[in-house]
Amino acid sequence: QVQLVESGGGLVQAGGSLRLSCAASGRTFSSYSMGWFRQAPGKDREFVAAITWSGRNTYYADSVKGRFTISRDNAKNTVSLEMNSLKPEDTAVYYCAAFTTAAMYPPPDPSLYDYWGQGTQVTVSS
């Protein structure tokens, strides 16, 4: 079992920055990939970024590439999402998720992730 708790959301003006964190407990954190997803009102949950267990490989949605950076600290059991140049369309609830399938790169499909946090609200005002 894996427990995930997000933090760091809030209200920010367009062009600003936020850093989200996700603390993990339970199974060995360093053995699985992690992803960030978001869901805006009335929309499906969408992929934002993912990182492999070692942190060597990262993946981003086109909409955030160049603005967001995912990272992890396996010693602290945390994964972070640094968000810069925020836009109003980035407004959503952000979730971290664990992908525990071995020998696979983390996919963009949220249905394939095994564990989820409760989410943290990010609101970007124009």
**pLDDT category of residue 66 using cuts at 50, 70 and 90:** very high
Report DSSP state, residue 103: T
Q: Is the pLDDT of residue 39 over 90?
A: yes
Amino acid 72 reads R
% of the chain beyond a pLDDT of 70: 99
Length of the chain: 126
Q: Return all residues near 82 (Cβ < 8 A) that are at least 6 apart.
A: 17, 19, 68, 69, 70, 71
